[in-house]
Amino acid sequence: MKAGMKYHIGMYGGSFNPMHNGHMECILRAASMCEQLYVVISCRNDGIDVDARVKYRWVYTLTSHIGNVKILLLEDKLKTKAEYTSEYWEADCKKVREAIGQPIDVVFCGSDYDNSSFWNICYPESELYIFERDGLSSTEIRKDIYGHWDWLPMFVRPHYVKKVLIIGSESCGKSVLTINLAHHYHTNYLEEVGRDLSELSGTDEMMIPQDFTRILLEHKAKEMRLIEHSNKVLIEDTDCLITRFFMEFLESGSEENIGLAESIARINHYDLILHAEPDVAWVQDGDRSKEIEQNRQKYSDRIEQLYERFGFRCVRIGGGYAERYERAIELIDRLFTPQS
C-alpha cells in the first residue's frame, strides 16, 4: 500500500441530485485515503433526476486531476430513499462488487447515514467510514435550489443558471436594461454581439454574409462560456432571431445564414423572454434605421411574431426606464421562487 494511504480500495456512493459541497468534501477526503476510490452514481433519468451524463461530468470535473478515482453508474428505478428497501440492497451490492472486481476495504458515507444503513449491512466485510456533513442535503437543496446556492460547487451551478433574454426593435432600451439587471443580480450579461460587427464597413447596410455568420456563432459561443461563471441568472441582449430579423430587414442574409439562425433558435431555450416595448424616446445612436423609427410598433410586433413562430413566449414590458427595470426584477425574481 502506498505511503500515507490507509486503504487499498474504497467506495463512495450517492444520487448526487444535485451534487453539493458535502458530497464534494467527502469524495476529496475519501480519495486521499485510498489507493483507488470508486464513486458510484445512482441515476434514474426519470425527468426529476439530473441526467446521468451531467452527474458523471460533475464527478469527473471534481476528480480528474487526482488520478485514483473511477466512476461507476448504477441504475436506480426508485423514487425515494424510503423505497430503497433490503430487497434492492443486495442486487445493487452485487452489481457494484462485480464492477469493482476486488475486495472493498472501506465504504464511505456522510453522516446522514449510520451503522443501520444499507452501506453497513450490505458490505459487512468492509469498514464503514462516516464523514460529518454539516446538515447538507440534496433533498433540502431541491426544495429551494437558489436559496441554497452557496451549497453548490462552482462546477454544478451552471446546470441551474436561468437564462433571461431581452428583445425588441431598435432604441427600446434593451442594452441599458440588460446591464442594469446584471448589476442588480451580481451576474454576467451578454451584450448585443452584432452591434460592433455590424459597423465593420461603417454602416449595417453594407454588411456581408460573413458578418452575420460571425454574429450568430460568436453570440452562441459567448453565451455558453458566460453561463459557466454566472450567478443564478444570465441576462442576454438579443439573440439569433433578432439577427434573423435584421438579415431580412436589410435584405443581406444569405439562405445559409438564415438557416443557421433558425437552427440555433431550435436548440435555444430561455426561462424568460422580456420584450421591451418601443414606447421610450427614440435615440439616434449611430446608424439606426429611419424606417424602423417611423414604424416602431410595426417592427416590434414583427419581432414578437418571429419568436412565436419558433415556440417562444414573450412577456412585454413597457413604460419608463424605472418602470421597466422594476417590472423585469419582479419577473426574474419569480424564477427563483421554490416550486410547490
CATH number at residue 120: 3.40.50.620
Torsion of CA 248, 252, 257, 259, to 10 degrees: 30
Helices 321-335 and 174-184 sit at what angle, rounded to 10 degrees? 50
Give the single-character DSSP code of 281: P
Bigger pLDDT: 203 vs 38: 38
The helix or strand, by DSSP H or E, that contains position 333, with its residue range, turns out to be helix 321-335
295: domain CATH number?
3.40.50.300
> What per-residue confidence (pLDDT) applies to 197?
65
Q: pTM of the prediction?
A: 0.90
Instruction: Give tens-digit pLDDT for 134-171.
Output: 777 888 999 999 999 999 999 999 999 999 999 998 87
**198 and 287 co-located in one domain:** yes
Instruction: Give tens-digit pLDDT for 248-264.
Output: 887 777 899 999 999 99
* pLDDT value at 63 more than 80: yes
What mean pLDDT is predicted for residues 17-35?
96
User: What's the rounded Cα separation, in Å, for the pair 151 and 143?
Assistant: 13
Total count of domains within the chain: 2
> What per-residue confidence (pLDDT) applies to 161?
98
* pLDDT value at 306 more than 80: yes
**234 part of a folded domain:** yes
- Closest alpha carbon to 113 in 101, 123, 125: 123
The helix or strand, by DSSP H or E, that contains position 236, with its residue range, turns out to be strand 233-237
Burial class (CB in 10 A: 0-12, 13-18, 19+), 167: buried
The helix or strand, by DSSP H or E, that contains position 105, with its residue range, turns out to be none
**214 and 313 co-located in one domain:** yes
* pLDDT value at 246 more than 60: yes
By the 8 A CB rule, do 274 and 317 touch? yes
**Which pLDDT band, with edges at 50, 70 and 90, does 24 fall under?**
very high
By the 8 A CB rule, do 106 and 129 touch? yes
> What per-residue confidence (pLDDT) applies to 339?
74
**133 and 206 co-located in one domain:** no
CA distances from 86 to 79, 90, 100 (A): 15, 7, 21
Mean of all residue pLDDT scores within the chain: 89
Instruction: Give tens-digit pLDDT for 111-131.
Output: 877 777 777 788 889 999 999
By the 8 A CB rule, do 58 and 20 touch? no
Bigger pLDDT: 124 vs 292: 124
Bigger pLDDT: 170 vs 15: 15
**130 and 200 co-located in one domain:** no
**156 part of a folded domain:** no
**143 part of a folded domain:** yes
The helix or strand, by DSSP H or E, that contains position 251, with its residue range, turns out to be none
Which has the minimum average pLDDT: 6-15, 173-182, 280-289? Answer: 280-289
In three-state secondary structure terms, 169 is coil
Question: Which residue, 151, 186, 214, sits at the end of a domain?
Answer: 151
**Which pLDDT band, with edges at 50, 70 and 90, does 133 fall under?**
confident
By the 8 A CB rule, do 309 and 270 touch? no
- What residue numbers bound the domain in which 324 lies? 161-335
**18 and 121 co-located in one domain:** yes
- Beta bridge partners, 70, equal 38
> What per-residue confidence (pLDDT) applies to 143?
92
**70 and 219 co-located in one domain:** no
